[in-house]
Chain A
Amino acid sequence: GAVVSQHPSRVICKSGTSVKIECRSLDFQATTMFWYRQFPKQSLMLMATSNEGSKATYEQGVEKDKFLINHASLTLSTLTVTSAHPEDSSFYICSAHRQFSGANVLTFGAGSRLTVL
Chain B
Amino acid sequence: EDKVVQSPLSLVVHEGDTVTLNCSYEVTNFRSLLWYKQEKKAPTFLFMLTSSGIEKKSGRLSSILDKKELFSILNITATQTGDSAVYLCAVDVKAAGNKLTFGGGTRVLVKP
Residues of A participating in the B interface, judged by any CB pair closer than 8 Å: 6, 32, 34, 41-44, 46, 49, 57, 93, 95, 97, 100-101, 103-111
Contact = CB atoms under 8 A, between A and B. Distances in A.
Contact residues on B (Cβ < 8 Å of other chain), bracket: 20 to 34
Q: Give the interface SS of chain B, mostly helix, strand, loop or mixed.
A: strand
Interface string B71-106: 000000000000000001010100001111011110
B89 to A, nearest CB: 10
A49 B92 CA distance: 15
A106 B104 contact: no
Interface in B51-80: none
Contacts of A107: 45
A104 B42 contact: no
Contacts of B109: none
A97 to B, nearest CB: 5
Contacts of A46: 99, 102
B8 interface: no
A103 B31 contact: yes
A110 B52 CA distance: 32
